[in-house]
Structure 1
Amino acid sequence: MFFRPLIALALSAVSVTVVTAAPVASTVQLDGVTVTGKSVSSVQQFLGIPFAQPPVGDLRFRLPQPVPAYNQSFSATAFGPACPQQKFELPVLQGLPQEIADDLVNGVFSALFPSSEDCLTVNVVKPASATPSSKLPVLVWIFGGGFEFGSTSMYDGTGIVQRSIDMGSPVIFVSMNYRSARGFGFLASKEVREAGIGNLGLQDQRQALRWVQKYITAFGGDPTKVTIWGESAGAISVSLHMIANGGNSEGLFRAGVMESGAPIPVGDIENGQIYYDSIVADTGCSGLADTLQCLRTVPFDTLKAAIDNTPSIFAYQSLRLAWLPRADGVFLTDHPQRLVQQGQIARVPFITGNCDDEGTLFSFSTLNVTTESEVRDYVKNTFLPGATDAQVDQLSTLYPADITQGSPFDTGILNAVTPQFKRIAAVQGDGVFQAPRRWLLKNTSGKQDIWVFLSKRFKAIPLVGSLHASDLINSFFLGQELRDYIIRFAVKLDPSGAGLLDFKWPKYTTGNPNQLVFLDGLIPQVVEKDTYRQSQMDFLTQLTLQVPV
């Protein structure tokens, strides 16, 4: 059925590289040693380069350690393994039984994207003509996947670099693996806080950005012209790098692009204690004086199985993730949205945007929620535990059961899998994606250059509409509008073209909240005001500030 291919499209986003000529060797010098990549046509790839020491053995659950100077020549012609991936547990609408379906999806995913704890590598894709004196702008990609799965091998930057060459505005593309799989990269508890090892996945990304500063010149890049770019969890990561260290970018980047992600409504790292304790129990580490050290020593398969036993992004609690970035007192000193409110954010230009129906993909796990009382119970006890009856009343009023007001938006009576599906999808999409973006805009407007977009493409897809991650199609795979805007932004910090026929993307301010809307049909893009569902999103933001995950 169509549901599983959609998940593969939206969350794996497997790229396809069109090879037009046999690859030939290409080289670059790092620390005086030769690194051999491969060249196809006018683009060169250097893949699987270690940027940190393997986080294995006693380095498991520790801050990433820089690699020492490279002292031996090596080949960089293949992507490195992904970091350990979270087991998929997908909702089944029809067809194969749940267990068989899960095993099939996990088996295929593992075969396509092999993983290992030794996974901290970067990839650099560059124009073949770039030399150490070229000083080209650099796009650093951070993949999404709910902080549970993902791999750089899903996103081949060759098309991005080739397109930039064709536009006459060449850039260098960099991507990095980072510890995800929830527990591996985002372990959360009082023990984690005390050890100062919170948000290891973000720390991995930061270390990769430091690697870029040290080595990108050798590939022809300019370390002062780095734009960090991500989607979903990758976009959230971009936003959190902007607010880390009190908003001090450390010179690691000069701009950001966020597709479907913004500073999220999360609280203290100790809010994840219940999941940490579950892993400790399942690995046999309970009762020991140092459970964290025990977790460093248990066999990988035992630890991975324990992490897989915690709720995934497709579990009943859905986008109320078990493992995700939280305030740890080091990387994030407070609730991310409070840091934005306090002005602790890098004053760099950025692009941010959403897909119209962000919540649909994540609402199939709640198909058993079909009545008003069940919706209220789900919100109060599962999705937003801690919300009061009065707050649930207000939320129910702002997001009524009327299916014509739910998501996929603007589809009338269609796509109502259950009487409550579109309603729940609207709440999830606004609460986790749209409202946090609005909060970011409210607190940064007038202080830095901002461009906003909304993708309403693929609205005709049954049940999911303009689903989460569908904008990746226009930034990596098909079409070129969003991709071209991002390339131009990386080059000149303005996404609009300079030609008379180029569509002009106006800046956003709260006084003039312009957003570029991507559409299906003969008119591919228009400018509209970003004011839809204003009262709903304002309420959701105030609610999640009070009851963060």
Structure 2
Amino acid sequence: MQVKLSTALAIPFLLAGTGAAAKCLSNDTTTPAGTLPSSSTSQASNSSSAVVVDLTYALHAPQITSSPDDRVYYNFSNIRYAAPPVTPSLRFRAPADPVYNRSAGVQDGTYGKICPQAYTPWQNAALVTAAPGEHESEDCLFLDVVVPQSLWDSRRNTSKPVIVWIHGGGYQIGAKYGTPDSNPLGLLDRSFVDGGDGVIWVGLNYRLGAFGWLQGSSFTSQGGLANAGLYDQRKALDWVQKYIHLFGGDPNRVTVMGESAGAGAIMHHITAYGGDEGEGEAPLPFQQAIVQSPGYVPRPYASQAESSYAVLLDRANATSLAELAALDTLALQTANKLAQTADFYGAFQFGVAPDGGYVPDLPEKLLARGAYHRDIKVMVAHNTYEGQRYTDPAATNSSAFDEYMALYFPDASAEFLAELSSDVYPAVYNDSSSSDSNSSTQADWTTPFERLRTAVSEFTFTCHAYFLGDALGPAAGRDSYSYLFSVPPGTHTLDVYYSYFVNSSSSVTNETVALYMQEYFASFVETGDPNRGSLLPIFPAYGANFTDLNLNQTFVNVIQDPAANARCDWWRATSYS
């Protein structure tokens, strides 16, 4: 099958490289799950008792922190947006309203937990059986609000745009704030350049693993809520709509921003209940989205949800949801961890999947038939080699492709798998030494590993970005925007370090790229157009030609989106049968 070729359309802008060697912390599994770094920079972390926000149900004072640009920020940390989902009546259920707690006095954000984490053996086998970290707890439904002091001081006279960050982590790990890849101060500093007036940042936790991502009739018939993690996110977004004005934010200018699982979740919100025409669906609690490497493995078969639930019951030595919900937290967290041992290389046991309600179908199917919220403006993105870390290094022969596709799509017919292997991703390898570079026999891979990596990249990440950019761009008659992050090595999550670049000690190889990205984001959040910065290369609209801004180590140029190809079109059309 032929791929639409990427063609340079502009003279590259040369960039100066600086910074340390890139490192993907999201893939650094040497730190025990639950370790929670400080949520402030080294410049300041004092609490301010003079600044208090009254949420009616609780009072909160911020930690004071300053950025490398010497701008002062208030971090209202660890605000409850929902009740602790720790009792049998709240586990595996929709998030409930936070408990009235004014009697606790003014809270300074020092108490806060991250949701229980679970690593797979292919990530770090030692962490599969490690005890939960001291900061891990089922009582984890907290969010942070980071406000520039200047915006707080003027909050009664004006309201500013808001970024809501939904973290990634394969739906199994991650947290709202505190790690180097989610410190917003650099991004917030950029919102004041080129005439910007500043923005407010919100980061949220949501239930992970089995606590938030179970589905299936066996589970729901016993009272479980499918995809509870999506409801947590929606609860937090609704909280923003209700309370962000108290911090100086504008609830009508909210941009959700997410990477990997966080971005995949955003796609599911945009297609929730089938979109604008969905039964019972209300307008979305956001107006724009920055969707970076939207990640989810398509799970189209009911048997997959049933299998994951059965694995959890087995690891917990339970026979019903009632028994699961009654377990002590250590037993349930241990079962969540051990369930990860039942999956294959590159896969996670739990994740988002169709449930017949909030998620009526796979997002690509809903987008293809127009069943989505059309009034959302988007910027999408993907990296060069998204599937690198999710591809088995032992996949060194052509048969590995067939073996893994059968694992990813267990109920697929022989015809589906044969078409996938023979027509969509044929075992034809590009001979880089060949002079016939235009031959119809040339492929986008040179080895069996690259062939499998390409497939995993596309059906897990890159095709999703193409589908969403198209549906909310050309197909909707409006502008969307898309970038390709090709800074070497171009692997999954690397661009998040550039998105949240703070200072020269950050793990980026080119600070100029990071500053460009942050200014594009800030401009998009504030104006709906990334092109406010007069000194930056023009960021073109995606358009009918599927145009990407290509961010490289040494240049920025304009290309055709490599994900806008016939293989992704095949994934959008397939029935998985």
TM-score of the pair, normalised by structure 1: 0.83
Are 2:354 and 1:327 aligned?
Answer: yes
TM-aligned CA deviation for residue 403 of structure 1: 5.9
CA contact (8 A) 2:119 2:127 kept: no
| Structure 1 residues 527 and 56: CA distance shift in structure 2, 3 A | same
Are 2:168 and 1:144 aligned?
Answer: yes
Which one has a larger percent helix, Structure 1 or Structure 2? 1
Q: Which of 362, 367, 371 does residue 397 from structure 2 map onto?
A: 371
CA distance in 1 between partners of 2:446 and 2:122 (Å): 18
Aligned pairs, number = 503
Aligned to 2:117: 85
Deviations, residues 1-20 of structure 1 (Å, cap 9, x unaligned): xxxx9563447898985433
Aligned to 2:576: 546
TM-aligned CA deviation for residue 54 of structure 1: 0.1
CA distance in 2 between partners of 1:405 and 1:266 (Å): 34
CA distance in 1 between partners of 2:490 and 2:340 (Å): 26
Aligned to 1:192: 219
CA distance in 2 between partners of 1:517 and 1:141 (Å): 23
Report matched runs for 1:61-210 at 5 Å: 61-72=92-103, 73-78=105-110, 80-90=112-122, 102-103=125-126, 114-131=135-152, 132-133=155-156, 134-153=158-177, 154=179, 155-166=182-193, 168-180=196-208, 182-194=209-221, 195=223, 197-210=225-238
CA distance in 2 between partners of 1:69 and 1:174 (Å): 22
Deviations, residues 393-450 of structure 1 (Å, cap 9, x unaligned): 44334434566589xxx9xxxxxx9952222111100121112222334434241431
What residue identity is the alignment partner of 2:43? T
What residue identity is the alignment partner of 1:292? L
RMSD of equivalent CA atoms:
3.1
TM-aligned CA deviation for residue 305 of structure 1: 2.2
What residue identity is the alignment partner of 1:66? D
What residue identity is the alignment partner of 1:215? Y
Are 2:294 and 1:265 aligned?
Answer: no
Ranked by relative contact order (alpha carbons within 8 Å, sequence separation 6 or more), the top structure is 2
Deviations, residues 314-361 of structure 1 (Å, cap 9, x unaligned): x52524x43111222221123322222221212211001100100001
What percentage of residue pairs aligned between the two structures are identical? 27
CA distance in 2 between partners of 1:418 and 1:451 (Å): 31
Which deviates the most, 258-267 or 328-337?
A: 258-267
What residue identity is the alignment partner of 2:102? N
CA distance in 1 between partners of 2:128 and 2:350 (Å): 22
What residue identity is the alignment partner of 2:565? Q
In structure 2, stretches of 5+ residues that fail to align are 1-21, 32-36, 67-71, 277-281, 438-444, 502-507, 509-513
CA distance in 2 between partners of 1:246 and 1:514 (Å): 27
Deviations, residues 208-254 of structure 1 (Å, cap 9, x unaligned): 01111111111110111111110000001111111113325635101
CA distance in 1 between partners of 2:140 and 2:167 (Å): 14
Deviations, residues 146-205 of structure 1 (Å, cap 9, x unaligned): 00010113322233223323553300000110001x211011221333336111101000
TM-aligned CA deviation for residue 312 of structure 1: 6.3
3-state DSSP class of the match of 2:264?
A: helix
Aligned to 2:19: none
CA distance in 2 between partners of 1:76 and 1:24 (Å): 7
Aligned to 1:96: none
| Structure 1 residues 456 and 546: CA distance shift in structure 2, 3 A | same
Deviations, residues 290-319 of structure 1 (Å, cap 9, x unaligned): x11111101222222222222369x52524
CA distance in 2 between partners of 1:110 and 1:282 (Å): 16
What residue identity is the alignment partner of 1:367? P
In structure 1, stretches of 5+ residues that fail to align are 92-100, 411-416, 459-464
Aligned to 1:414: none
Aligned to 1:48: 78
| Structure 1 residues 17 and 75: CA distance shift in structure 2, 3 A | closer
CA distance in 1 between partners of 2:358 and 2:541 (Å): 30
3-state DSSP class of the match of 1:125?
A: strand
| Structure 1 residues 130 and 79: CA distance shift in structure 2, 3 A | farther
Aligned to 1:535: 566
TM-aligned CA deviation for residue 482 of structure 1: 1.6
3-state DSSP class of the match of 1:318?
A: coil
Which deviates the most, 482-491 or 64-73?
A: 64-73
TM-aligned CA deviation for residue 88 of structure 1: 4.0
Q: Which of 288, 297, 302 does residue 331 from structure 2 map onto?
A: 302
Deviations, residues 40-80 of structure 1 (Å, cap 9, x unaligned): 24111010111100000121111100114552333233372
TM-aligned CA deviation for residue 35 of structure 1: 1.4
CA distance in 1 between partners of 2:553 and 2:187 (Å): 22
